[in-house]
Amino acid sequence: IVDVEDNEIKNVKVIENPASSYLHGVGPIVVKMLVDLKVNLVVAPEFGPGASTLLEHHNIGKVSVKASTTVCEAIREVLNRVG
């Protein structure tokens, strides 16, 4: 979780995925966690249809990046897009 204010990183938290051991049905669990954490934007290489629908329902933005993108590169890319 990266907190950004005025295009500047204020805080970074690493949170364990509660559904990392599941093969299917991960989307709703992760989206619930993101809603509870008051996340407003998610960056990922892909979004499943269930997760995508739930993110939209909760007004959480989505940004797609290449699968090989590092976290630092993804943050830079997002800040350049929205900044």
At which residue do the structure tokens 């007004």 appear?
A: 59
pLDDT value of position 83: 62
End-to-end alpha carbon distance in the chain:
18
- Using CA atoms, how far residue 62 sits from 22, 25, 55, in Å, is 22, 19, 8
Over the chain (83 residues), what is each successive 10-residue block's mean pLDDT?
A: 89 90 89 96 93 97 94 89 72
pLDDT value of position 41: 94
pLDDT value of position 53: 96
